[in-house]
Amino acid sequence: MTILLDVALLVLASAMVVVVGRLVAGPTDADRAAALDLGFFVFLAAVAVLAVRLDQPNLLDLVLTGTLVSFLATVALARLVHREQR
């Protein structure tokens, strides 16, 4: 089980590298906002995997709260990008 969780963390770390690349190279603000949102969700997934690996269920509260905040931020950014395109 530990090896599987370590592999999951490795996959999430490689996904974060791709996200940072898109964040730096994104030609528009919408690309950067989408990359930032995806990066935060990758971070939350890594925290969830660490919660299971370290047997710390308290970290799942952080994941739940972060997911709610990230969802609200995504909606706000989508409205902002849509407003700028008008």
Query: What stretch of H or E contains 17?
Result: helix 2-25
User: Position 28: which residue type?
Assistant: T
Distance CA 28, CA 39 (A): 17
- The predicted pLDDT at position 49 comes to 96
For domain 2-85, which architecture applies? Orthogonal Bundle (1.10)
The residue extents of the domains of the chain are 2-85
Backbone angles phi, psi at 19, to 5 degrees: -65, -45
pLDDT-above-90 percentage for the chain? 66
pLDDT tens digits, one per residue of 17-59: 999 999 999 888 788 888 989 999 999 999 999 999 999 999 9
Query: Is the confidence at residue 16, as pLDDT, over 80?
Result: yes
